[in-house]
Amino acid sequence: MSGHVVALVSVIVVLLLAVVAVWFSRVHTLNRRVGSFHCALGRTAQGPWSLGVAQYGTDRLYWWRYRSLRARPHTRWQRVGLAVLERTDWHAGQVVVTCRPGAETEPVHLLMSAEAYAGLTSWIEATPSRVGSVI
């Protein structure tokens, strides 16, 4: 092989390793955030599922797709108006949760552990009341 081909292959290998390292770092960071949990997003209650991680915010639920390098969440749902419509047992302690993120939106299907579901319902129920009218 010529020296140029070896150099090109070396650059490509280094770039691929850098992308893999950034991806692993991103996944590790997402999984270690306070209020984060494994959560898959589905087109229907039966899937197909896109693996990801969700995180509770003060006023939103954020969701990141695992197979991405994107720094911002793929989807966010407002806490106010987020309602659980249905909970269905899945396999191995997992549940499918069908939520309505707002009155005029399509339902969202989330696959998570039973423990994460308990946390989600507690987070939704603990929505702070509006204090705008209090002096």
Say how far apart CA 9 and CA 95 lie, in whole Å.
Answer: 46
pLDDT tens readout for residues 47-80: 899 999 999 988 899 999 987 777 789 999 999 8
Q: From CA 103, how far away is CA 83, in angstroms rounded? A: 9
User: 53 and 61 in contact (C-beta within 8 Å)?
Assistant: no
CATH 3.30.930.10 fits 35-126, yes or no: no
Q: Is 121 helix (H, G, I), strand (E, B) or coil?
A: helix
Q: Is the entire prediction scored with pTM above 0.95?
A: no
User: Is residue 78 within 8 Å of 62, Cβ to Cβ?
Assistant: no
CA distances from 56 to 3, 26, 32 (A): 52, 17, 13
User: What tens digit of pLDDT does each residue of 80-125 get?
Assistant: 889 999 999 998 889 999 999 887 778 999 999 999 999 999 999 8
